[in-house]
Structure 1
Amino acid sequence: MGAREEFELTGWQASPTPPQVADGRTPLWRGHNVFRVVTFLYATFMFFMFLDSYERPWLAAMCISCMAVWTAFTVWRYRTRAGRTNRLVAADVVVVNALFLLNEFILTEAHMNSSDPSVVTVWHSTGVTAAAVQWGMKGGVATGILAAAGNLLVRGRTGSDMALDTLLLVGVGLVIGLNSDTARRSTERLAQALRAEAATAERERLARSIHDSVLQVLARVRRRGAELGGEAAELAELAGEQEIKLRSLIATKPETTEDGETDLAARLQVFRTARVHVSVPGNPVRLTEQLSADLAAVVREALANVDEHAGAQAQAWVLLEELPDEVVLSVRDDGPGIPDGRLDEAAAEGRMGIAKSIRGRVAALGGKISLDTAPGEGTEWEVRVPRVPEPKRRRGGQR
């Protein structure tokens, strides 16, 4: 095998996968584990301090033993990302609150009416911290309210100390939940950036390989065919068009953003050839993936009609405009135009390309389409589509 062939084979090897992004909430989990161990040690100390005064010391001993086992198990599981499952966190919340409710059968009336700590004490709040780290602000606040309700149920009274406990439980869930949401979004942005970087590197690698193989062959066919003339010149023209398409394809970067949007302007560049001229804004035109794909399909169908009906020498122009509330897309050609009634005849004959692929798509997007054509004056389609689908706009307007 020659050096040239060996290069072409190795140039298409699979690129390495992007590095795994560390969970940005890991420091919060470490803090939770430390907090759980410290609060358990405090609960153990208070257990021995008040052991003789409990109504059922044996039940208190069982409660503190269960706390020890559960603390060891959850700290071990929460050390790794794979162990932080929704199911385990939900079970954690249930177990912590269930152990706290056992105080109803452990504490005496004197304990209930005083500020003496329960057997579970501040270890109760670790269920809130676990839920806040896992589920964010909403999960933390909801679990804090649940823990506060359990506290009020066991104590059976209200007062300044109970209000303070409620504020602390809900506040802990709120603050840690906000930090968890921020860490999660940061992790997602970092993962998105790494994926985009990996995709760009892969595209550049493929571009180098294509440039050193396919594009050079097409360029040689184009030059040699033009020199030979005749049918070879037609092949040279086709090779030139494919060369332009391929160059546009490898230069386009339609990566999806973290909000699920793509750049329509970059996607339209793929249609650029020697006969198709594409004009787009200098800045990216970010639209939802579905909207961008549908508009690109409209352009593809319109250009297919140009190839089929406008003649081999017809030129086409694709223009994209971005307005505050909508995007305007026009496809124009200098072909012979469409005679009056021809579209209705095509639809009656079952040829539904324009009726469904163009008009149907635009109607489904909540947009408007207009056709400007006349015999001998070419054809121009103008599509106007709202940036946000109409149903979402109406819901937004009601709020």
Structure 2
Amino acid sequence: MSADVSSRSPRGSAPRADSALAVEDRLYSALAIVRVVVTINMVGLNAYRRDNFSHPDVALAIVLGLVAWTAAAIWLYRDRARRTSAVLVVDLAIVLAAMAATPWVKSEHFNATIPGFWVMGALLAWAIHWHWRGGLVAAALISASDLLPRAEIDQSNYGNVFLILIGGPIVGFMCESLQRMARERDAAERTAAAADERTRLARAVHDGVLQVLAMTQRRGTAAGGEWADLGRLAGEQERSLRSLIRQQDTVPTASGPGAQVDLAGALEAMATAHPVRVEVATPGAAVPVDRHVAQETVAAVKACLDNVLTHVGPDASAWVLAQSAAAAITISVRDDGPGIEAGRLEEAAAQGRLGVSSSIRGRIEELGGTAVMQSGTWGTEWELTVPLA
């Protein structure tokens, strides 16, 4: 077990965050009040039962010793540096010693032990420090010390031991749960702060560097010659930088079913690797969707670009525009090809060629969305609408 509560957590668990230690500090502060109350109760009951002692002077010394230890324990547990495993062991040992002395100080037919409910101080301290395991160990030792010296066990003795045996682990479990909640809250706050900072930096980059690169690309392409090469390089860097921002802002996920990913980042990554020259415009923030939805949507957009490559050629240009709303994301995929003749898709479907229907419309409709195609001499445009809810 740990030697210092300020630096380590129970064996087998990760180091505790400051908030978890703060919760522990408050629990020990509450325990100090409990110690005072049960000590007053212990003094009063032993004074009331003073005629039951065979050795009253020894009983008085034990009671005064327990009062002195209460004051010392409150002082020791107040500071993390003093709150060591040795202190907890001594705390419980004093409880067990006082209980073990009871049959001699009173008689072998005693009814109540000298400490009585005073044992709660050590029991709860173990539960706070070592959680349910500590509460169970302390409760078992206290119960054994109470029952073993007795000549007979009545219903009252059984009830007290039963409450101790279930109370110690339950209190320990609750203390552990409170500390875990504090750590989870800290982790959530750190994640939120990191996300806010990434968003702020992404906006700064978007408003500055990305706009300059986009402007350089447009003007370089319009100027032609060597300036066109500069524009092309600027466009590549813009896409790379935008992809990097997306990777930093991707929603953290697990790999199992129901995990979420950033759809906008996935679209940019796919478009960057596609042979067709693709210009991508996505929302300024991440678009978290179910992993399956992201995979199918990206596959549908890729199918649109594959059609551009097949029917227009590698020199074609394409544009992907993603617009996110509260209920759905709409993705427009447009090219500068000659367009698709009227009735061509219906004719292909009648001949059993279902490439467009299955790879684009089929995927989107299975997600509960729609896929609408428009074509003319200006080119072809697909509008894919995918629900986010």
Q: TM-score, normalised by structure 1?
A: 0.54
Counterpart for residue 110 of structure 2: 114
> Separation in 2 of the partners of 1:225 and 1:216?
14
Shift of 1:40: 1.0
Which among 100, 107, 112 is matched to residue 104 of structure 1? 100
Shift of 1:275: 2.8
Shift of 1:264: 7.2
Counterpart for residue 289 of structure 2: 283
Secondary structure, counterpart of 2:148 in structure 1: helix
- Whichever residue aligns with residue 131 of structure 2, its letter is G
Structure 2's unaligned 5+ residue stretches are 1-16, 275-279, 281-286, 293-313, 318-389
> Separation in 1 of the partners of 2:260 and 2:230?
31
> Separation in 2 of the partners of 1:29 and 1:172?
17
Partner deviation per Cα, 1:54-96 (whole Å, 9 max, x = no partner)? 455554444334433432233345456x4695x34x6324423
Q: Write out aligned runs for 1:1-399 (5 A).
A: 21=19, 23-24=22-23, 28-50=27-49, 54-57=53-56, 59-79=58-78, 82=80, 87-88=84-85, 91-108=87-104, 111-115=107-111, 117-155=112-150, 157-252=152-247, 253-254=249-250, 265-266=261-262, 269=265, 272=269, 274-276=271-273, 283-285=289-291
Structure 1's unaligned 5+ residue stretches are 1-18, 287-311, 316-399
Whether the aligned pair in 2 keeps the contact of 1:263 and 1:284 (CA below 8 Å) is yes
Whether the aligned pair in 2 keeps the contact of 1:188 and 1:258 (CA below 8 Å) is no
- Whichever residue aligns with residue 68 of structure 1, its letter is V
Determine which structure has more spread, i.e. the larger CA radius of gyration. Answer: 2
Secondary structure, counterpart of 1:265 in structure 2: strand
> Separation in 2 of the partners of 1:236 and 1:58?
98
Classify 1:275/1:208 alpha carbon distance in 2 versus 1 (closer, same or farther; 3 Å): closer
Shift of 1:248: 3.5
% of aligned pairs identical? 28
Secondary structure, counterpart of 2:153 in structure 1: coil
Whether the aligned pair in 2 keeps the contact of 1:192 and 1:257 (CA below 8 Å) is no
> Separation in 2 of the partners of 1:156 and 1:47?
21
Partner deviation per Cα, 1:203-226 (whole Å, 9 max, x = no partner)? 122123323433233223323432
Classify 1:68/1:163 alpha carbon distance in 2 versus 1 (closer, same or farther; 3 Å): same
Q: TM-score, normalised by structure 2?
A: 0.55
- Whichever residue aligns with residue 242 of structure 1, its letter is Q
Shift of 1:254: 4.2
- Whichever residue aligns with residue 269 of structure 1, its letter is G
